Amino acid sequence: MSLGSKKILIVDDEPRTRQGIKQTLEVWAGGRYVVETADNGVEARERLLHEQVHLLITDVRMPEVSGIDLIRSLKERPRQPVVIVISGYAEFDYVQQAMRLGAFNYLLKPLDKAELLQVVEAALKQEEEVQRREKLEKLVDPKLFQIDPDGSGMGEPVREAITYVEQHLQEQLTMAEVAARIHLNASYFSVLFKEQAGVPFSEYLSRLRIQRAKEMLLQSRLSIGEIGERVGYKTDKYFIKVFKSLEGISPSRYRNQHIEDNQTEIQ
């Protein structure tokens, strides 16, 4: 998602404050962000239901629908904007409520431009980090996520095997070869690995290869064949077969689907 597609919504029933923030942010953003306003909480709540807003800057006290009400309404949304609240000195109890509800930070009136920009930049960085984590969580194979090499139930031989596999994933690995590397009988290693990792070695190897492949599909422009080769598959055909067995779709469809999802998010 490009920065220029990200939206900042300013909500305040005081025209001077609302326009002042808008002008300050537009000059600072230089076209990198879309900066919009709403003059009351009712309008803002409706827009938040139907539009993707990345940063919400709202006054805490407004007639009918307050900033606190707006923050509460966001709990129903799957993707919530980062929230900055604005208040006067006499309204600090409202600020405390907003912070308890998950607001990122607050600004006191009269607003200081330098402080406004500092807080906005920090809020947008957090929003980027939340998005990055969400995307990584979607990529992670849940079975791989459950394998903890540093956990108390993981012995040194299996830990060594996992490290070796991660470092040599592009090679034609076999269970017998990995077992020999850590000086264990292949049959014993097979039982030990499944017991401590929770999955058979062959399944672990396939899942790890496909995990790496998914990352490359989304983070590079390498061809399907090149990606398959880099994660240890000799032929495109076999790589595609294993990928489909674990993900339910082909590597090319997986890549295109995520491109389409990103374009939908931008709109």
Q: What is the DSSP letter of 237?
A: H
Helix, strand, coil percentages, rounded to 5, for the chain: 60, 10, 30
- 158 and 256 belong to one structural domain: yes
User: Phi and psi (nearest 5°) for 106?
Assistant: -140, 160
- Name the residue range of residue 209's domain: 142-266
Q: Are residues 122 and 204 in the same domain?
A: no
Please give the Cα distance from 4 to 168 (Å, whole number). Answer: 40
Same domain, 155 and 88: no
* Residue ranges of E strands in the chain: 7-11, 34-38, 55-59, 82-87, 105-108
Residue type for position 207: R
Say yes or no: 149 and 41 in one domain: no
**CA atoms within 13 A of residue 238's CA, in its CB half-sphere:** 8
Q: Kindly list the distances between the CA atom of residue 105 and the CA atoms of 76, 77, 100, 121, 208, in Å, as whole numbers in the listed order.
A: 21, 20, 11, 12, 40
Report the CATH number that the domain containing residue 109 is assigned in CATH.
Answer: 3.40.50.2300
Contact 220, 180 (CB under 8 A): no
Of 5-14, 88-97, 164-173, 187-196, the range with the lowest mean pLDDT is: 88-97
What value does the mean pLDDT take over residues 36-56?
A: 92
Domain end position, chosen among 101, 133, 165: 133
| CATH number of the domain bearing residue 169 | 1.10.10.60
Residue 80 shares a structural domain with residue 183: no
Q: Are residues 102 and 7 in the same domain?
A: yes
What was the pLDDT predicted at 159?
A: 95
Q: What is the rounded distance in angstroms from the CA atom of residue 69 to the CA atom of residue 65?
A: 6
Q: State the average pLDDT over residues 204-226.
A: 94
Rama region for 81: left / alpha / beta (φ>0; ψ in -120 to 50; rest): beta
8-state DSSP, 75? G
Q: How high is the pLDDT of residue 5?
A: 73
> Are 158 and 191 in the same domain?
yes
pLDDT higher than 70, residue 40: yes
Same domain, 126 and 155: no
Residue 202 has pLDDT above 70, yes or no: yes
Name the nearest CA neighbour of 70 among 55, 51, 56.
Answer: 56
162 in the same domain as 93: no
151, burial (CB in 10 Å: exposed 0-12, middle 13-18, buried 19+): exposed
Q: In the structure encoding, which two tokens stand for residue 259, read together?
A: 């491109």
Percent pLDDT > 90 in the chain is: 72
Which of 104, 133, 162 is where one domain is finished? 133
The residue to which tokens 């709202």 are assigned: 58
User: What's the domain count of the chain?
Assistant: 2
Distance CA 203, CA 198 (A): 10
Question: Environment class of residue 254 by beta-carbon count within 10 Å: exposed (0-12), middle (13-18) or buried (19+)?
Answer: buried
114 with 153, same domain? no
- The larger pLDDT score, comparing residue 135 to residue 111, is at 111
